[in-house]
């Protein structure tokens, strides 16, 4: 009697995606774009829940995000193009490629910076405290970045050096940088950063629940926690980028922002403890008239106005008779020496 054994081969690496673009009715649907859109959606969803939980108006926040999201997308592309200008400008390059955002290339620093600028403009217009909005959206930004990093996976970009670890990422030959053609698997830095950002989300939510972070502290905590991880993950990458004093430009950016965020957090905690009140006023969708109803004179309806006018006329007609009766004469002219 013979026995049949089946062996299931499990690849000792993370396989590359079979494709990153699908064509529907002749239109290209790119996984990178879908990941970015999914990130925006879940990030806004989480930020909205936090904003409403503090008493803010969902409609007010939506109006602010209407400014912040486009600013963020434009800023992300501008940062990438500026810091990697050699990819688009110079001999043999095509500057028009700088506009092809669907090919990848979004800098998180530009996204957060320009997105904050758009939100600040909207907050100024609506008279809403900007730092309260930043605190509400902080974990949502980190959550959005998790989805965005999977766009790098589909594009087979921004990976680390070669590795034989079981979690190594398979990269096809046409996506391997010069000098690495003989290596098949690389460190999946997209996954490292996604896991790190998941921890950042949890850190902010737990710290905010425990300490009620306000006046920008939740946002500053996000910046400090994210940049702490980004610095070492960035150093693992092997894509061609600009260097300064021996370090990748993004590493310097992470270090500088980490220091600034820590300082801002400490200063805010010492000078402005507690949280802003967003349950009343413009942040809650209230106009000045509805904020202090007791200071607003009640409106008079037409029937009430007519009744008041009739009563006033009757009182005026009765006044002479009343005055005459007090002097004992019906026709007293009221003159006295």
d(CA 33, CA 31): 5
Could you give the 3-state DSSP secondary structure of residue 286? coil
Closest CA to 191 of 151, 224, 163: 151
Angle between helices 58-83 and 31-53 (to 10 degrees): 140
Cα 141 from Cα 225, distance rounded (Å): 12
Residue 95, both tokens = 């500057």
Quote the tokens at residue 132.
């309260």
Task: Please report, to the nearest 10 degrees, the dihedral formed by the alpha carbons of residues 265, 266, 270, 274 taken in order.
Answer: 30
Rounded-to-integer distance, Cα 277 and Cα 148, Å? 33
Backbone angles phi, psi at 3, to 5 degrees: -110, 145
User: Within 13 Å, how many C-alpha atoms sit on residue 305's CB side?
Assistant: 5
The alpha carbon of residue 1 and the mean position of all alpha carbons in its chain are separated, in whole angstroms, by 66
Residues 47, 54: contact at Cβ < 8 Å?
no
Catalogue the E-assigned strands of 41-133: none
Answer yes or no: are the C-beta atoms of 213 and 221 closer than 8 Å.
Answer: yes
149 is in an annotated binding site: yes
Residues that constitute the known binding site: 149
């Amino acid at each position: 009697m013979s026995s049949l054994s089946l062996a299931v081969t499990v690849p000792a690496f993370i396989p590359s995606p079979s494709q990153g673009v699908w064509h529907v009715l002749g239109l290209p649907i790119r996984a990178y774009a879908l990941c970015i859109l999914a990130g925006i959606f879940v990030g806004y969803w989480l930020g909205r829940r936090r904003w409403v939980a503090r008493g803010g108006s969902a409609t007010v926040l939506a109006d602010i995000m209407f400014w912040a999201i486009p600013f963020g997308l434009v800023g992300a592309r501008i940062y990438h193009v500026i810091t990697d200008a050699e990819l688009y400008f110079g001999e043999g390059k095509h500057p028009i490629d700088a506009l092809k955002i669907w090919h990848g290339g979004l800098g998180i620093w530009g996204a957060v910076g320009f997105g904050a600028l758009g939100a600040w403009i909207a907050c100024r217009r609506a008279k809403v405290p900007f730092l309260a909005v930043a605190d509400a959206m902080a974990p949502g930004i980190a959550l959005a970045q998790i989805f965005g990093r999977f766009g790098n996976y589909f594009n087979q970009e921004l990976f680390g050096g070669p590795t034989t670890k079981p979690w190594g990422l398979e990269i096809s030959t046409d996506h391997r940088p010069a000098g690495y053609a003989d290596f098949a698997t690389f460190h999946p830095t997209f996954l490292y950063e996604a896991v790190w950002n998941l921890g950042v989300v949890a850190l902010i939510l737990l710290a905010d629940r425990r300490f009620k972070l306000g006046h920008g502290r939740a946002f500053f905590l996000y910046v400090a926690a994210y940049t702490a991880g980004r610095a070492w993950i960035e150093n693992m990458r092997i894509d061609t980028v600009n260097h300064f004093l021996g370090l990748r430009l993004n590493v310097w950016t992470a270090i500088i922002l980490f220091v600034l965020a820590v300082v801002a957090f400490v200063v805010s905690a010492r000078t402005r403890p507690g949280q802003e009140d967003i349950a009343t006023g413009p942040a809650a969708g209230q106009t000045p008239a509805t904020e202090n109803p007791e200071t607003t004179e009640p409106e008079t309806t037409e029937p009430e106005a007519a009744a008041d006018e009739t009563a006033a006329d009757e009182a005026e007609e009765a006044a002479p008779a009343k005055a005459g009766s007090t002097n004992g004469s019906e026709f007293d002219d009221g003159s006295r020496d």
